[in-house]
Each structure stands twice: as structure tokens, then as C-alpha cells.
Amino acid sequence: MTSDLKSLNRTEAILSAKEIISTHRAIVVLTGAGISAESGVPTFRGKDGYWKNYKAEELATPAAFESDPQLVWEWYDIRRRKLLNVKPNPAHYAIAELEKKSDDFTLITQNVDGLHLIAGSKTALEIHGNIWRVRCTYCGIKEENTQTHFEGLPRCTSCGGLLRPDIVWFGEALPEEVLTEVYNSLNRCDVLIIVGTSGIVQPAASFAYTAKNNGSKVIEVNIEETYLSDISDVKVLGKAGEVLPKIVGGMD
Ligand SMILES: NC(=O)c1ccc[n+]([C@@H]2O[C@H](COP(=O)([O-])OP(=O)(O)OC[C@H]3O[C@@H](n4cnc5c(N)ncnc54)[C@H](O)[C@@H]3O)[C@@H](O)[C@H]2O)c1
Ligand SMILES: [Zn+2]
């Protein structure tokens, strides 16, 4: 009985999400680590969120890299190796599908795994960078780098400086050009769909408030309630890979 009610609630939530999306024009989708969980990429706060007893917050910081770049690169190397075998899941494909059907569409992702682009999304504002890009700590040059199994520390081919992942670490500012595009989209949108985001990491969490204050509807897709649930107009509780294809499907 209870499970019937629950599934009815979810069905109703999916229908209202569909209704909102099809009757509004400018859509923004904000994704977090949860959307890649079904592809096998662990979230930071889930049960696999630790490596060698370190929390991500202890490794993804400028201070950690300064004191032990080898350790930080070892962690990224392991994450890169895992990503080599990972594929987008139905949630990534549903978002790429929604983009095709929409006239005004922006995808903002906190993920660094690059899976949205592999799934066919034309653009993704990767606010935290991309794990397959590196940046020279000396000359600042950025380049794609898909190496794994690093021996020693990776060095810049132009100046020999130490390379770091081109990722926004805890305590660092987001790239300004990307932020400008993010706020342009949030100020214009009338629907914001938040998928697999805990709402703990700023400023992504505040994006929901920006959209809401501008009169946008907010739809949340997550396996559990989050800090953003209270301001969401529709909460769809469920796995992104199961729920998003249902929300987006048949919306031509
Ligand atoms: N795939 C990646 O690139 C990756 C992975 C881990 C962490 N990160 C980084 O860590 C930071 C953490 O913030 P965050 O809010 O994105 O992640 P988070 O780890 O704090 O939270 C993940 C959220 O996803 C939800 N979730 C888990 N499985 C789900 C599923 N199958 N369907 C729907 N929701 C699901 C959880 O309930 C949680 O709310 C991000 O800034 C990101 O840069 C990235
Ligand atoms: Zn350099």
C-alpha cells in the first residue's frame, strides 16, 4: 500500500515536471555528482567517497597540492583510470535529448567527468573544470591531457612547470567567463532542473535561489531530500537514470 502511494506520488511528480517543462521556454539544467552515480562514478558524499582514508575535501585543495602534489596527482590518476571505463547513462542522454527539443537551453554541470559531452550535449558550462584538462602552475597554459599511469609529476611541455588538474578546488574561485554565462542563463530561465546535487557545495547551491528569485520554476531530481528541496516546486525522488528519460520522453 505504502509503496503504491509512493509510486503514485512519483508518477504525479514526473507528470508535473513534464507539464512545467513543456509549457515554459527557457530551460536550465544543473547537474551534480549524482547524475554520474549510475555510470559508476562515486559521489563525494556517498559510501565510496573516501580514498586511502582521505575525504575529497582534504585532497581537492590548493593547500593539499602545495604540500604533496604527488599524493594529489595519485588520486586524480586513479579517478582518471576509473573514468576510462565509464559511459554516460540514460540521464545524460535524456538531457542531451531535451537540449535538442528546446529553443533556449543551458546545461550547467559541477561534474568534471566530461560525460555530458560524450552523451551528445552540445555545450556544458563545466563550472568546476574538467578532469581531462591540465593547467601549468607556472605559465598558466591549459591543455587537454588524457594520460594515466603517471610516473613522477607531470610537467609542462612549454616551460617545464608543474602541471595541475584544471579543476576548481575547494576554496578556489570559479572561472569568471563561465560564471557570467551561468548567471545570464539563470536570469533568463523559467525552468531550472536540478539533478543529483546535494546543495552543499557553493556557489552551485545558490544558483537555485537566483533562478527562484527571478520567478523560475524549480524541479529537483534526487534519490533523497536535499537542502534545495524546500525551494523546489516539484521534487522527483528517484534515480536520475530512471526518472529523467520519463520526464523528457514523448515531449516533441
Ligand atoms: N562525476 C564527477 O565529475 C564528480 C564526482 C564526485 C564529485 N564531484 C565534484 O564534487 C562536488 C560535489 O558536489 P555535488 O553536489 O555534485 O555532489 P555530492 O557528492 O555532494 O552529492 C551528490 C548528490 O547526488 C544524489 N544522488 C546520488 N545518486 C543519485 C542518483 N542515482 N540519481 C539522482 N541523484 C543521486 C545524492 O543524494 C546527493 O544529493 C561537485 O562540485 C563536483 O565537482 C564530481
Ligand atoms: Zn608552463
3-class secondary-structure state, position 134: strand
> In this structure, are 52 and 115 located in the same domain?
no
- Would you say residue 1 has pLDDT above 60? no
Instruction: Supply the pLDDT for residue 108.
Output: 98
Residues 1 and 54 in one domain: no
Judgement on whether residues 243 and 191 belong to the same structural domain of the protein: yes
pLDDT score recorded for residue 201: 80
Q: How many domains does the chain contain in total?
A: 2
Cα gap 142→81, rounded to integer Å: 21
Residue showing cell 543551458: 106
pLDDT digits (tens, 9 = 90+) for 125-169: 999 999 999 999 999 999 999 999 999 999 999 999 999 999 999
Residue 5 in this model has a pLDDT that exceeds 50: no
> Do 71 and 92 fall within a single domain?
no
Measure the CA–CA gap between 166 and 114, rounded to whole angstroms. 13
Q: Mark whether 34 and 149 lie in a shared domain.
A: no
Same domain for 235 and 193, yes or no, is yes
Ligand 1 pocket, Cβ-based, cut-off 6 angstroms:
32-34, 36-38, 41, 43-45, 110-113, 128, 196-198, 200-201, 221-224, 226, 239-240
The average pLDDT across 72-78 equals 95
Ligand positioned closest to the Cα atom of 163: 2
Q: Which of 121, 90, 91, 118 minimizes the C-alpha distance to 108?
A: 121
Same domain, 55 and 135: yes
CB atoms within 10 A of CB 129: 21
Q: Which cell numbers in the block locate residue 213?
A: 528569485
pLDDT number for residue 51: 74
Query: Which positions ≥6 away from 96 have C-beta within 8 Å?
Result: 116, 119, 120, 121
Q: Which residue, 229, 185, 15, 35, is CA-closest to 118?
A: 35
Judge whether 24 counts as a catalytic residue: no
Are residue 241 and residue 202 in the same domain, yes or no?
yes
pLDDT in tens, 168-200: 999 999 999 999 999 999 999 999 999 999 988
My answer on whether 181 and 235 are in the same domain is: yes
CB atoms within 10 A of CB 45: 14
Output the average pLDDT for the chain.
92
- CATH number for the domain that contains residue 147: 3.30.1600.10
Residue 238: give the domain boundaries.
1-41+88-128+175-252
What's the whole-number mean pLDDT along residues 110-119? 96
**Strand residues in the chain grouped as ranges (E):** 26-31, 50-51, 54-55, 104-109, 125-126, 129-136, 142-144, 163-167, 191-195, 217-222, 234-237
Residues 162 and 239 grouped into a single domain: no
Choose which residue among 38, 44, 59 to substitute to test ligand 1 binding: the one with the highest number of ligand atoms within 8 A of its C-beta. Answer: 44
Question: What is the predicted pLDDT for the residue at 98?
Answer: 97
The residues, ordered by sequence, that sit 6+ positions from 135 with a Cβ below 8 Å of its Cβ are: 141, 142, 163, 164, 165, 166
